[in-house]
Amino acid sequence: MMKQFGGLLLAFAILVISGLQPAMAGWRAYENPRFGFSFTYPAHVFTPEPEPENGDGNRFFATDAEAIISVWGSYNTLDQNPKSYFEWARNDVGVVDNITYKRIAKDWLIISGYKSGMVYYEKTIFSCNFQRTTSVSITYPASRKKDYDGMVGRLTKSLDPGKPDGCE
């Protein structure tokens, strides 16, 4: 009986793993040498621009040119925390017109909503004792939510601020 159960468990594991292969295929890592962060993006859908001269991050355009992923690191010159960053993004810079989701934690936050018919989703992580931030955002037409929503979770969960030079 135990042997049969072990065989069934192995068969189930193989099915699960093989079922994940297509979902995992086509994702590529991006690593930023200046700030030391990384994330993965669906390379079968997005193409990176050439690296900017300042080396703070990059943008990735969808093959249909309707969606953009932006990823960047920066120094926290305004001495913000996740809550004050949210207020700044909402009020001062107007990242989104209509916030539909927010999550604020001790050292990160997520903002999502709509701006000019586009969905905007951003995750920002504070690191180096709040001296640096690492962010990834994706913007895409609201009419294409079904096409892009499935990528958002994996994209933002993969954001890793790393251990940039100068962090203790």
Unique residue bearing structure tokens 């990834």: 136
Helices (H), 26-71: none
Show me where the domains of the chain are located: 27-157
Task: List, for residues 72-112, the tens digit of each pLDDT value.
Answer: 999 999 999 999 999 988 886 677 888 999 999 999 999 99
pTM passes above 0.85: no
How far is residue 130's CA from residue 107's CA, in Å, rounded to a whole number? 8
Query: According to the model, what pLDDT value does residue 16 have?
Result: 36
Residues 6+ apart with CB under 8 A from 40: 27, 28, 29, 30, 154, 155, 158
What's the pLDDT tens digit per position in 9-43? Answer: 344 333 333 333 344 579 999 999 899 999 999 99
pLDDT number for residue 164: 60
Cα-based distances in Å from 124 to 7, 20, 77, 111, 144: 44, 27, 15, 9, 24
According to CATH, the superfamily of the domain at 27-157 is: Mog1/PsbP, alpha/beta/alpha sandwich (3.40.1000.10)
